[in-house]
């Protein structure tokens, strides 16, 4: 798993925490977030370490796609949101293997953005799943990350040689893809081609480390979650009890 997933997994195991999903009502911001019940006979919640997330409304139903970092390999979990029960019903696990224990494409998944029913882009943060290996990639500036597309049947690498591709999101018209690069302090804007490959259109430099991005559904503006002080966020990843400042812009 990537360095964030690896560190948080160890931290969670040490203090016996578990991955959970919450619902926050922005129409009632004074109310606390509500934990969602997760159901599904084939879903192992004890090995659920949620990270990136996106959703889609398909034929009147709401589906949530979540990057998770289980022990052996990264996966993307698909849930159906059941409003009346405040429940997530597990539908499917996306993964691909070279053989039983080695995952080829979802090795270090970070974030996901859904293009349609069971089709999506996701970012590959790097190559190594261990803390040591990934730290080496980060400090030596190795561009071993990438962006993949899943068309419902197979995975295709549509952009490679990237240094720690992080948050990813579609534009409202689904013609553009925005990707955060915290190490470069930039957001890259890609054009989607007819074959779902990506062409770089623009690079937006910002004076902070962008982590994740969402698109305002009304205005189309980008809203990013950022880390303004680099060494403090890396310290927080190693020692989660030490807070690292964050900002929204």
Question: Within a 13 Å sphere around the CA of 196, how many CA atoms are in the beta-carbon half?
Answer: 18
Would residue 56 be called left, alpha or beta, if left means φ above 0 and alpha means ψ between -120 and 50 degrees? beta
Active site (annotated) includes residue 90: no
Side-chain half-sphere of 2: how many Cα atoms within 13 Å? 25
202 has binding-site annotation = no
**3-state DSSP assignment of residue 179:** strand
Alpha helices in the chain (DSSP H): 3-15, 131-139, 230-238
Residues 125, 164 contacting (CB under 8 angstroms): yes
Is 211 marked as a binding-site residue?
Answer: yes
221 appears as a binding residue in the annotation: no
What are the b/e assignments for 226-247, b being 16+ CB within 10 Å? Answer: bbeeeeebbebbeebeeebebe
Q: Is 166 annotated as a binding residue?
A: yes
Catalytic residue selected from 51, 69, 73, 90: 51
* Residues forming the active site: 51
- Summarize the annotated binding site as residue ranges: 53, 110-111, 166, 211-212
- Summarize the annotated binding site for Ca(2+) as residue ranges: 53, 110-111, 166, 211-212
């Amino acid at each position: 798993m990537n360095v964030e997933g690896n560190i948080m997994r160890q931290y969670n195991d040490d203090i016996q925490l578990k991955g959970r999903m919450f619902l926050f009502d922005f129409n009632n911001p004074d109310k606390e977030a509500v934990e969602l019940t997760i159901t599904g006979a084939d879903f192992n919640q004890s090995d659920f370490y949620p990270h990136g997330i996106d959703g889609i409304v398909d034929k009147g139903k709401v589906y949530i796609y979540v990057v998770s970092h289980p022990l052996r390999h990264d996966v993307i979990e698909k849930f159906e949101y059941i409003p009346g029960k405040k429940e997530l019903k597990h539908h499917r696990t996306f993964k691909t293997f070279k053989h039983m224990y080695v995952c080829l494409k979802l090795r270090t998944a970070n974030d996901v953005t859904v293009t349609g029913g069971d089709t999506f882009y996701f970012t590959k943060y790097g190559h190594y799943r261990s803390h040591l290996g990934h730290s080496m990639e980060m400090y030596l500036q190795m561009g071993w990350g990438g962006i993949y597309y899943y068309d419902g049947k197979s995975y295709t690498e549509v952009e490679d040689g990237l240094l720690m591709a992080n948050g990813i999101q579609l534009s409202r018209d689904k013609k553009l893809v925005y990707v955060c690069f915290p190490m470069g302090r930039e957001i890259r804007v890609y054009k989607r081609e007819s074959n779902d490959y990506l062409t770089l259109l623009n690079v937006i430099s910002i004076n902070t480390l962008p982590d994740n991005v969402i698109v305002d559904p009304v205005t189309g503006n980008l809203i990013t979650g950022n880390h303004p002080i680099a060494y403090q966020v890396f310290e927080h990843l190693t020692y989660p009890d030490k807070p690292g400042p964050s900002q929204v812009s």
